[in-house]
Amino acid sequence: MRKRSIFFVIGALALIATLTAFDLVSGTHVPSNARLLHTEPSEYAPVLVFEQYGERCMNFNAIDDGGRQTCYELGDPRKMVFEYTRMMTSALFVQPDPRSILIIGLGGATLPNALHHLLPGTTIDTVELDPAVLRVAERFFGYEPDERQRIFLEDGRAFVERAEREGRQYDMVLLDAFDVDYIPPQLMTLEFLEHVKRILSDSGIVAANSFTQSRLYERESATYAAVFRQYFNLRAGLDGNRVIIAAKGALPDISDIERNARAWQSRLDPYGIDIETALNRFQLVREAREGVEPLRDSESVAR
């Protein structure tokens, strides 16, 4: 009888361990060290919110599916967890005083929230395709749209093309749109970047988040070179993100970038942005590899 009791307890504990690794409502596998807070239904992919290692994070489909989309530290919400958001924010070294910003891709609103606090007089337009992402950003990540923090629920390319037709211009355009696999193909082509260039003010810049290990790395580079001629290529290691920063006009000299970075230093410290690390990532690229074709609308982009 005692043995049967012991086996019953062991079996019960195993069942509890299994249940804690599987959310019964959403059917989502949950790693034992993560706590699932919410699953938001979406016509594209379920949006998950979970807490793990002292961070609150967002992901699509599953907690451990293809990395985390957005995270912030529960004890220090302003500090940027991901290197790519710190690299994107260093676009302020190239254009230190943007009065209007367009962001394609909301995610957990790390960039819109940070720039809204850093630039209280600046109008920030953010475009997000998925209403589920907006609901999650508002409920779990502190995103609060207002008259200067504006949100548009639509396709990013359609928004850019309409902004061009209406004559709108931006001092800074940040491209940070990802689906469950990679950047949507319509946001990678030469034709799209030409639209982006035309909505930049004379001193406007574009910063785009992508990956160093993408099969399209060289063709992405060729596309930006074809539209903007030269750009800064910021890389987080050999297998992390890379951020491309290009300008409608001439790019500033590195001395100007260093001066702008020093001016921003104290305000960026709370976000975990180390100025020296950020400056060391600015590598100027003047031309793409010979023989590499830019990406175009007319082809099917295999990612």
Strands (E), 129-178: 149-153, 170-175
Phi, psi of 39 (to 5 degrees): -125, 120
Q: Is the pTM of this model over 0.85?
A: yes
The pLDDT of residue 6 is 42
The pLDDT of residue 181 is 64
| Residue in this structure with the two tokens 């060391």, named with its chain if needed | 280
Phi, psi of 127 (to 5 degrees): -115, 125
Rounded to 5°, angle at Cα 233 from 230 and 235? 175
Q: How confident is the model at residue 288 (pLDDT cuts 50, 70, 90)?
A: confident
Q: CA-to-CA distance for 70 and 52, rounded, in angstroms?
A: 12
Strands (E), 214-290: 231-235, 241-247, 283-285
- Asked whether residue 190 carries a pLDDT value surpassing 80, the answer given is yes
The pLDDT of residue 23 is 41
Question: If you average pLDDT over every residue of the chain, what do you get?
Answer: 88
- Asked whether residue 44 carries a pLDDT value surpassing 80, the answer given is yes
Quick: pLDDT tens for 132-189.
Answer: 999 999 999 999 999 999 999 999 999 999 999 999 999 999 999 876 567 888 999 9
The pLDDT of residue 241 is 87
Q: Which range among 18-22, 186-190, 224-228, 269-273 shows the weakest confidence by mean pLDDT?
A: 18-22
List the chain domain ranges: 2-68, 82-285
- Asked whether residue 244 carries a pLDDT value surpassing 80, the answer given is yes
Strands (E), 22-113: 22-23, 28-29, 35-40, 47-52, 55-60, 70-73, 76-80, 100-104
Q: How confident is the model at residue 240 (pLDDT cuts 50, 70, 90)?
A: confident
- Candidate list 171, 176, 181, 297, residue with the active-site label: 176
What angle do the packed helices 190-198 and 156-165 form, to 10 degrees?
40
- For the chain, the farthest-separated pair of C-alpha atoms sits apart, in whole angstroms, at 83
Q: CA-to-CA distance for 212 and 21, rounded, in angstroms?
A: 33
Residue 200 φ/ψ region, left for φ over 0, alpha for ψ in the -120 to 50 degree band, beta for the rest: beta
Q: Which residue has the higher pLDDT, 7 or 111?
A: 111
The pLDDT of residue 215 is 87
Q: Which range among 16-20, 25-29, 116-120, 202-206 shows the weakest confidence by mean pLDDT?
A: 16-20
Cβ-contact 152, 102 below 8 angstroms: no
| Residue in this structure with the two tokens 């957005």, named with its chain if needed | 70
Quick: pLDDT tens for 2-31.
Answer: 344 443 333 443 433 333 344 433 444 555
Q: Which residue has the higher pLDDT, 2 or 193?
A: 193
Cβ-contact 212, 235 below 8 angstroms: yes
Q: How confident is the model at residue 223 (pLDDT cuts 50, 70, 90)?
A: very high
As a whole number, mean pLDDT of residues 243-250 equals 97
CATH class assigned to 82-285: alpha beta
Cβ-contact 190, 226 below 8 angstroms: yes
- Asked whether residue 280 carries a pLDDT value surpassing 80, the answer given is yes
Specify whether 297 is catalytic: no
